[in-house]
Chain A
């Protein structure tokens, strides 16, 4: 089945630092999504990407849809304590209506 490899598995950074995480796959995806999950809550959509090469920002977050359609990255600039959580990438194929999720990146921020 389709799998997404998300890295790093976890990060512990200093407040103010920039963060980068990525997802890769052996399969082509038509859509890439990035979600954040806070403890005890459901995942919340951060950014959706629909075209290969697309670069989209949402405040301090920037995500890109890889040109090969097999990867995506998420950057967070100038991290703050409330950035703490688990970040998930998710991909959707052209004709499927299910999302395949990466294993998540646990982000911890030291203030």
Chain B
């Protein structure tokens, strides 16, 4: 009964490739998020969707494109991967206004 799930758990790829990370939540939440955690463990929000609509778009390269097919799913597609994209990416969800956010287990992306 995983609340927020992400696939894959690990992703190793070459520079220049395109990859996607999938996220699903079964909490019935309307709002979903993508965060990036760097090597120093700093967590920074990238995107937020509310009921399939983009509401937060931090300063993220446009190589990153979130897609929300329905309010239970928020996928992250990354084009032309770069070395600096290596990080752990977390999906999260909450009720609208985002006070209590529930995080997925993370996807560790390594770009070689």
A residues at B contact (CB < 8 Å): 31, 33, 35, 37, 40-45, 48, 50, 86, 88, 92, 97-99, 101, 103-104, 106
| A-contact 0/1 string along B67-103, CB 8 Å cutoff | 0000000000000000000000010100011111111
Instruction: Tell me the complex Cα distance, A1–B112, Å.
Output: 32
Q: Looking across the interface, which residue of chain A has its beta carbon closest to that of B95?
A: A97
Q: Are B56 and A97 in contact (CB under 8 A)?
A: yes
Contact of A103 among B40, B56, B97 (CB under 8 A): B40
Q: Are A101 and B43 in contact (CB under 8 A)?
A: yes
Q: Are A43 and B105 in contact (CB under 8 A)?
A: no
Contacts of B97 in A (CB 8 A): 97
Q: Looking across the interface, which residue of chain B has its beta carbon closest to that of A101?
A: B43
Q: Are B99 and A98 in contact (CB under 8 A)?
A: no
Instruction: Tell me the complex Cα distance, A101–B96, Å.
Output: 19
Q: Are A31 and B42 in contact (CB under 8 A)?
A: no
Contacts of B43 in A (CB 8 A): 43, 88, 101, 104
- A-contacting residues, B1-56, CB 8 Å: 4, 31, 33, 40-45, 48, 50, 55-56
Instruction: Tell me the complex Cα distance, A92–B44, Å.
Output: 13
Q: Looking across the interface, which residue of chain B has its beta carbon closest to that of A43?
A: B103
Contacts of B103 in A (CB 8 A): 35, 42-44
Question: Is B66's beta carbon under 8 Å from chain A?
Answer: no
Q: Are A104 and B41 in contact (CB under 8 A)?
A: yes
Q: Are B98 and A42 in contact (CB under 8 A)?
A: no
Instruction: Tell me the complex Cα distance, A99–B43, Å.
Output: 10
Q: Are B45 and A98 in contact (CB under 8 A)?
A: yes
Instruction: Tell me the complex Cα distance, A101–B42, Å.
Output: 8
Instruction: Tell me the complex Cα distance, A104–B43, Å.
Output: 9
Q: Are B106 and A45 in contact (CB under 8 A)?
A: no
Instruction: Tell me the complex Cα distance, A50–B97, Å.
Output: 13
